[in-house]
Amino acid sequence: MKRTSTYFAKPGDVPDQWRVIDATGISLGRLARQVAIALQGKDQPTYTPHVISGCHVVVVNADKVRVTGRKLMQKMYYRHSGYVGNLKSFLMRDMMEQRPERVVRLAVKGMLPSNKQGRQMLRRLRVYAGDQHPHQAQVGAAE
């Protein structure tokens, strides 16, 4: 009787792949879920929890992402410098006008693990407000 063992990918076994996602008209939460799954590698058969088996993700047209309900006027983002009384708050409407890529990045960050591995996954994410990006090998590979 032969025993089969479960396959666990090693850090050197996983090749680097790139995925370009166009955010035009996609809901922010659905986009963030799609990106988080790709960064973690959960959509690949070689997924291993303790190894970053996901791909690099380039999100273009972050300024055209769709937001439902009253989130533009009610959702708040906070930033704190660490000094007393220096909590700054921003409406989602203002963030979408000034830094739409930050809105997408924060939504994806909330769906990744809150540990060292999650921070390494977030480094593989590149978000651009327009449809141009400097990653040449991935220019024609939009999903």
Question: What pLDDT is recorded for position 142?
Answer: 53
Q: Closest Cα to residue 63, out of 10, 25, 12?
A: 25
Question: What pLDDT is recorded for position 91?
Answer: 97
Question: What pLDDT is recorded for position 15?
Answer: 87
pLDDT digits (tens, 9 = 90+) for 29-85: 999 999 999 999 999 988 999 999 899 999 999 999 999 999 999 999 999 999 999
What are the residues facing 76 on neighbouring strands? 91
Q: Are 23 and 100 in contact (CB under 8 A)?
A: no
Q: Are 47 and 39 in contact (CB under 8 A)?
A: no
Q: How far apart are CA 21 and CA 18, in angstroms?
A: 10
Exposure string of 78-87, with b = 16+ CB inside 10 Å and e = fewer, is eeeeeeeeee
